[in-house]
Amino acid sequence: MNLSHGRPILAIPGPSMIPDRVLQAMHIPSPNIYEGELIDITYSISADLCRLARTEGRVGMYIGNGHAAWEASLVNTLAPGDRALVISTGRFALGWAEIARKLGVEVEILDFGTDRAADPVVLEARLRRADAAGIKAVLTTQTDTASSATNDIPALRAAIDAAGHDALFLVDGIASFGCEPFEMDAWGADVLVASCQKGLMTPAGMSFVFAGTRALEARKGLERVSPYFDWAPRFAPELFYQNFSGTPPTHHLFGLRTALDMIFEEGVEQVWARHAVLASAVWAAVDVWSETSQIACNIADPAQRSRAVTTVRAGQDHGARLRAWCEQKAGLTLGIGLGLDGAATPPGEGLFRIGHMGHLNAPSILGTIGTIDAGLKALGLAHGGGALRAASDVIAEALAA
């Protein structure tokens, strides 16, 4: 018996499900890249990305994935020999740190492990030490996609300020942008990094670096910047091609324009609220499964959990078995356990991740939870019963008149 032959659900934390409207917007012949609609669309996208990031600053758009934007953010703010403090709450800040290291930046990791958010008190104490004086930038993720921990960005900014430190504050919002609240200017982030294939519901291939005033100043002080990644011409293009240092990502731009239309039609606050409710429904289900088993959310404190992805510990090899069952038998693809192989955490096989970012609604999340529940039953894996009901209660309560 196999029940996977309908429309599949991709519940991995990026790429996320692409709306039909976005796909249809991309289903066009190659446009004129010298004049006409594409030019207008490109500038409207820059303006709307800044609106979504809540910044008066600039955005540079790159043809590349999140790693490209990681690199772009670094080459425009730091020079070889500069020092950066990287706040790690999982796997992704370490990836960013690795790129910084390869660019010659002297990196120090402030490691909070893989099961909680960063502690602003620890950050403040580190920045108060005399040897912190030379640190030029503090890097962190808003949401770490491996652990599903979400950092309190305003609290980390406040810690930098409380220490009287003038480091630039660079935030990786790749997993959270368009899913979780973010207010770049009000929160005092100097740089925000994002990409299009998660909350922005567009096929992977475009990424973004937002820069505020202090970051723009930092760029001016650099002797040499990689010409392709240099954000200066992208921020103030004299000719259209400078927006992308060459041919624009034509079809991505049409797709992204539509995705942004969908976000603003729904309302940004409403998009955030939808993610919050759907995440709560996932957590309610995991709580029920955990009642008679070792299943648990990787992040114990709900206040520190992402509203875009949930990492679940299932124990032994149960994560891998459940993922295989859901995909092969039922048409649901879950995320693999990623990079949490330290002694204190189960190996990847014991984990699975539920991506709940972007284009999803009540039936997509109830379908995901119900399918996982069926998988636990079919595989004979211990779990508390009634998870789907708990999730439906969360949704009913949120929508109660």
Q: Where are the beta strands (DSSP E) in 238-325?
A: 296-297, 309-313
Q: Is 195 in the site for ligand PLP (CB under 6 A)?
A: yes
Residue 66 lies near ligand PLP (rule: CB under 6 A): yes
Phi-psi region of 108 (alpha: psi -120 to 50; beta: other; left: phi over 0): beta
**Could you say whether residue 210 binds ligand PLP (CB under 6 A)?**
no
For the bound state, the minimum distance from the C-beta of residue 392 to ligand PLP, rounded and expressed in Å, comes to 28
CB 38 within 8 A of CB 253: yes
Per-residue x/- marks for ligand PLP, 75-104, CB under 6 A? -----------------x------------
Q: Measured from the CB of residue 204, what is the shortest distance to ligand PLP in angstroms? A: 6
Our finding on whether 371 is near ligand PLP (CB under 6 A) is no
Eight-state DSSP code of residue 195: E
Q: Residue 58 — φ and ψ, nearest 5°?
A: -115, 155
Given the rule CB under 6 A, which of 73-81, 108-116, 152-160, 171-179 is the region that contacts ligand PLP? 171-179
Three-state secondary-structure class, residue 152: coil
- Total residues contacting ligand PLP by CB under 6 A comes to 13
Facing residues of 296 across strands? 313
Looking at the chain, the number of H-run helices and the number of E-run strands are 14, 12
67 near ligand PLP, judged by CB under 6 A:
yes
Segment interacting with ligand PLP (CB under 6 A) among 65-73, 159-167, 288-296, 384-392? 65-73
Closest CB to ligand PLP among residues 61, 174 = 174
In the bound state with ligand PLP, the residue whose beta carbon lies nearer, of 176 and 258, is: 176
Distances (CA, A) of 353 to 115, 229, 275, 313, 334: 14, 32, 16, 9, 6
Structure tokens at 327: 């995909």
Which x/- pattern over 134-163 shows residues binding ligand PLP (rule: CB under 6 A)?
-------x-x-x------------------
Tokens of 199: 């909350």
Look at the alpha carbons of 171, 176, 178, 179 in this order and tell me if their dihedral is positive or negative: negative
Residue with smaller CB distance to ligand PLP, 202 or 243: 202
The sign of the dihedral angle between the CA atoms of 210, 215, 217, 223 is negative
Shortest Cβ distance from residue 147 to ligand PLP (Å)? Answer: 10
Contact call for residue 349 and ligand PLP (CB under 6 A)? no
Which letter does DSSP use for residue 327 in this model? Answer: I
Q: Quote the least distance from Cβ 351 to ligand PLP, whole Å.
A: 16
* β-sheet with 106-111: strand ranges across: 58-63, 206-211, 191-195, 168-172, 135-141, 83-88, 106-111
Task: Tell me how far apart the alpha carbons of residues 148 and 115 are, in angstroms, rounded to a whole number.
Answer: 8
> Which CB atom, from 248 or from 335, has the smaller least distance to ligand PLP?
335
Q: How far is 359 from 207, CA to CA, in rounded Å? A: 18
End-to-end CA distance of the chain: 41
Q: Which stretch binds ligand PLP (CB under 6 A): 63-71, 162-170, 317-325, 382-390?
A: 63-71
Binding part of the chain for ligand PLP, among 29-37, 61-69, 104-112, 179-187 by CB under 6 A, reads 61-69
Task: Return the closest-CA partner of residue 288 out of 394, 385, 375, 377.
Answer: 385
Please tell me whether residue 298 binds ligand PLP under the rule CB under 6 A.
no
For ligand PLP, give the closer residue by CB, 68 or 365: 68
Q: Is 63 exposed, middle or buried (0-12, 13-18, 19+ CB in 10 A)?
A: middle
Q: Does 180 bind ligand PLP (CB under 6 A)?
A: no
* Residue 20 CB contacts under 8 Å (≥ 6 apart), including other chains: none
355 is a site residue for ligand PLP (CB under 6 A):
no
What residue number has its CB nearest to ligand PLP? Answer: 66
> Under the criterion CB under 6 A, does residue 172 sit at the interface with ligand PLP?
yes
Selected binder of ligand PLP within 10, 11, 14, 87 (CB under 6 A): 14
- Sole binder of ligand PLP in the list 74, 175, 200, 312 (CB under 6 A): 175
List contacts with ligand PLP (CB under 6 A): 14, 65-67, 92, 141, 143, 145, 172, 174-175, 195, 204
